[in-house]
C-alpha cells in the first residue's frame, strides 16, 4: 500500500487485536475469506435495485425464485446479481425465513427500514427501554426515528424477565403498530411466545431485533423468533454472526415485485421491506459487503459453527461463575446467552468507566454500561458489559475463563498501581499471542 500512514495504522490495529482479549460482546473476528470478499472490486459497482434470477446457482434456486424478478437501475449486473442471490438464499436457509434483504448498511439502517415499511409518521412502536438493555434505535429520544414515530418503552422486572404484564398493558393502551423485542445488553432469553400472543391480540407487527444473538440463533443455541410467529427479524451481521459490518432483514410472507406498491398487509411484508430499504431509506448497496455477508452465511451454515455457538454460551456461563466466585455481582445473577452485565458499584464501589479504564490498561476490552434503574449518568454508568463471542473465535475454552476472571479481579485491586497493571498487561499479551486471529491463518 502506498499510503504509509494508513498502512501503519492497519498494522497497529492488527497488533492491538492480537495482543489483547476482546470482551466487548458486540465484537468478533472475521475469517480471512470474509476480509477478502470485503476488500474486493465489487466496491466499484453500482447496483441500485434488486437481482434477477437468471442463471441462478441450483442450490439456491428454490428460495430465490420465490423472491423477485430482475430489477436493477444499471447494466453490468451479471456478477452482482449472483452474489446478492447467494447471500439471500443462504440467509433464508440460515434463519428459516421466506425472504431476506441483505442490503442494509448497518443494524440501525435495517431497523429504520422496517419502521418505514410498516408505520406512518406518529404511529406507535413498543420497544425495550435503553436503560434496561434495549438499543438506541428502539426509540431513544436522541434518534431520528424517535422524532418520526411515537416510541413507548417497556422495562425488565427485578428477576430479569421482560415485563410481559407491562407489554400487555401498554399494547392494550396504545395499540402499537409494532411490538419490538430486541436488546444490546440483556443476558437472558426472552419469551417470544408470550410476546407473540400479545401482538396477535392487539394486531401488532411482531419484530425481533436479534443483532446480538443472531449467531446463537444460527447455531441453534437460542430460540428463533420465527418459530413463535414473529413476522420480521432484523440483525447486524458483524456480532455473533461473525460477518462483515452490516445489517440484514429477514421476514415471513409472500415475496413480490418491489416496483409495484403492495397493500400494507402482513402477507406483503417482504415487498414492503424491499421498497423501504431501496429506494425508501438507502441508495446503492455495498456489493463488496454483500459478498462478505454471503461468505459469512455459508460459514454459519457449516456444522463447525454450531460448535462455535455452543462454546460461546458455555464460555459465558463459566466466566459468569468465575466472576461471581471473585465477588463480582452480576445483574440478574448470571447469563443465559453470550453476555454478562456486572454491577460494579454493588460489587466493589467503583463505576463502570473506572473499571473499563483499568482493564484497558491491561489489554482486556469491555465497555461501561448502564444497568436497569441505574442511578448514575449514561457516560459514567454503574455497570460493565462483557461477552464471549470474540474470545471464543480466538479458540478460548472454559478453563481459560478462570484466567480472565482472575485478571479482572487483579486489575480492580491494582487499578491505581501502574507498575502492577503493566505486569498484568504483559501477562495478558503473552497469553493472547497463543491464540492467533482467524485472519492470521
Ligand atoms: C448493534 C445493534 C444495532 C445497531 O447496529 P449498527 O450496525 O451499529 O447500526 C441495532 N440493534 C441492536 C439490538 C444492536 O445490538
What are the residue ranges of CATH 3.40.640.10 in the chain? 32-300
More confident residue, 77 or 224: 224
Ligand 1 centroid, distance to 211 Cα (angstroms): 6
Instruction: Spell out the residues 6+ positions from residue 248 whose beta carbon is closer than 8 angstroms to its own.
Output: 91, 100, 101, 102, 104, 110, 214, 234, 235, 236, 237, 293
Residue range 14-34, pLDDT digits in tens = 999 999 999 999 999 999 999
Instruction: Mean pLDDT check: name the lowest of 259-273, 325-339, 346-360, 375-389.
Output: 259-273
Q: Which three cell numbers stand for residue 253?
A: 410472507
CATH of range 32-300; options 2.40.160.60, 3.40.640.10, 3.40.50.720, 3.40.50.2300: 3.40.640.10
Which helix (H) or strand (E) covers residue 110, if one does?
helix 107-118
Q: Tell me the average pLDDT across 349-374.
A: 96
Give the lowest-confidence range in 257-271, 288-302, 326-340: 257-271
Contact 298, 90 (CB under 8 A): yes
172-198 burial string, b = 16+ CB within 10 Å, else e?
eebebbbbbbbbbbbbbebebebbbeb
- For residue 54, what pLDDT is reported? 42
Residue 358 has pLDDT above 50, yes or no: yes
- Percent of the chain beyond pLDDT 90? 90
Contact (CB, 8 A) for 153 and 129: yes
**Is residue 265 annotated as part of the catalytic site, yes or no?**
no
Taking the alpha carbons of 413, 417, 421, 423 in that order, is the dihedral positive or negative? negative
Rounded average pLDDT over 237-254: 97
Atom 6 of ligand 1, nearest CA residue:
107
What pLDDT sits at residue 72? 84
DSSP code for 152: E
| Sequence-ordered list of residues with C-beta below 8 angstroms from that of 112, at least 6 positions apart, any chain | 137, 144, 145, 281
Ligand 1 atom having least distance to the Cα of 134: 13
> Is 209 known to be catalytic?
yes
Collapsing DSSP to helix, strand or coil, 248 comes out as strand
* Residue 50 bears catalytic tag: no
C-alpha cell belonging to residue 387:
461477552
Q: Closest ligand 1 atom to the C-alpha of 212?
A: 15
* 245 labelled catalytic: yes
Q: Does residue 46 carry a catalytic annotation? A: yes
Helix spans in 302-437 (H): 303-325, 344-348, 352-362, 389-394, 398-413, 418-432
- Residue pair 32/55 in contact (Cβ under 8 Å)? The answer is no
Ligand 1 contacts CB of residue 77 (under 6 A): no
Global confidence as pTM:
0.95
> Contact at 8 Å (CB) between 244 and 296?
yes
CB burial of 339-359 (b: ≥16 within 10 Å; e: otherwise) equals: bbbbbbbebbeebbbbbbebb
The catalytically annotated residue of 137, 234, 236, 281 is 236
Residue 243 Cα to ligand 1 midpoint, Å, equals 14
pLDDT in tens, 264-278: 999 999 999 999 999
Residues of the chain with CATH 3.90.1150.10: 304-440
Consecutive H or E run containing 235:
strand 232-236
Q: Is the CB of 209 under 6 A from ligand 1?
A: yes
**pLDDT (average), residues 225-235:** 98
Q: Answer yes or no: are the C-beta atoms of 386 and 338 closer than 8 Å.
A: no
Which residue owns the Cα nearest ligand 1 atom 10?
Answer: 107
Tell me, yes or no, if 227 is annotated catalytic.
no
- The residue whose CB lies within 8 Å of the most ligand 1 atoms, and thus the one to mutate among 184, 185, 214, is 184
The fold for domain 304-440 equals: 3.90.1150
Q: CB neighbours (10 Å) of residue 19? A: 16
Dist. CA 433–CA 255, nearest whole Å: 48
Rg (CA), the chain: 22
Catalytic residue among 45, 72, 245, 326: 245
CA-to-CA distance for 61 and 79, rounded, in angstroms?
16
Amino acid at each position: 500500500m502506498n499510503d504509509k500512514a494508513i498502512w501503519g495504522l492497519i498494522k497497529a490495529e492488527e497488533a492491538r487485536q492480537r495482543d489483547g482479549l476482546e470482551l466487548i460482546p458486540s465484537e468478533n473476528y472475521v475469517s480471512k475469506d470474509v476480509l477478502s470478499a470485503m476488500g474486493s472490486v465489487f466496491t466499484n459497482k453500482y447496483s441500485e435495485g434488486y437481482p434477477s434470477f437468471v442463471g441462478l446457482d441450483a442450490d439456491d434456486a428454490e428460495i430465490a425464485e420465490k423472491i423477485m424478478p430482475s430489477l436493477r437501475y444499471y447494466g453490468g449486473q451479471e456478477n452482482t446479481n449472483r452474489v446478492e442471490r447467494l447471500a439471500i438464499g443462504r440467509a433464508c436457509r440460515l434463519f428459516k425465513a421466506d425472504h431476506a434483504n441483505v442490503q442494509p448498511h448497518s443494524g440501525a439502517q435495517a431497523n429504520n427500514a422496517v419502521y418505514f415499511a410498516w408505520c406512518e409518521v406518529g404511529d406507535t412502536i413498543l420497544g425495550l427501554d435503553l436503560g434496561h438493555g434495549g438499543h438506541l434505535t428502539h426509540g431513544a429520544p436522541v434518534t431520528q426515528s424517535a422524532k418520526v414515530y411515537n416510541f413507548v418503552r417497556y422495562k425488565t422486572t427485578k428477576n430479569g424477565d421482560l415485563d410481559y404484564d407491562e407489554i400487555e398493558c401498554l399494547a392494550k393502551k396504545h395499540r402499537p403498530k409494532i411490538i419490538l423485542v430486541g436488546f444490546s445488553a440483556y443476558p437472558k432469553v426472552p419469551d417470544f411466545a408470550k410476546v407473540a400472543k400479545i401482538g396477535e391480540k392487539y394486531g401488532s407487527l411482531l419484530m425481533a431485533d436479534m443483532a446480538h444473538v443472531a449467531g446463537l440463533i444460527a447455531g441453534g443455541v437460542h430460540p428463533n423468533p420465527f418459530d413463535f410467529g414473529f413476522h420480521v427479524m432484523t440483525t447486524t451481521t458483524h456480532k455473533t454472526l461473525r460477518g462483515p459490518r452490516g445489517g440484514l432483514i429477514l421476514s415471513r410472507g409472500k415475496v413480490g415485485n418491489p416496483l409495484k406498491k403492495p397493500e400494507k398487509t402482513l402477507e406483503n411484508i417482504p415487498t414492503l421491506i424491499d421498497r423501504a430499504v431501496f429506494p425508501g431509506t438507502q441508495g446503492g448497496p455495498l456489493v463488496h459487503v454483500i459478498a462478505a455477508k454471503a461468505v459469512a452465511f455459508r460459514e454459519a451454515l457449516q456444522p463447525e459453527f454450531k460448535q462455535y455457538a455452543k462454546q460461546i454460551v458455555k464460555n459465558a456461563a463459566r466466566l459468569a461463575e468465575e466472576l461471581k466466585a471473585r465477588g463480582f455481582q452480576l445483574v440478574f445473577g448470571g447469563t443465559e446467552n453470550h453476555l454478562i452485565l456486572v454491577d460494579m458499584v454493588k460489587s466493589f464501589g467503583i463505576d463502570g468507566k473506572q473499571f473499563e479504564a483499568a482493564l484497558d490498561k491491561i489489554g482486556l476490552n469491555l465497555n461501561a454500561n448502564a444497568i436497569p434503574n441505574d442511578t448514575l449518568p449514561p457516560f459514567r454508568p454503574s455497570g460493565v458489559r462483557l461477552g464471549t463471542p470474540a474470545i471464543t473465535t480466538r479458540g478460548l475454552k472454559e478453563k481459560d475463563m478462570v484466567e480472565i476472571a482472575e485478571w479482572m479481579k487483579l486489575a480492580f485491586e491494582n487499578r491505581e498501581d501502574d507498575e502492577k497493571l503493566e505486569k498484568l498487561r504483559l501477562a495478558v499479551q503473552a497469553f493472547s499471542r497463543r491464540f492467533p486471529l482467524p485472519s492470521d491463518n
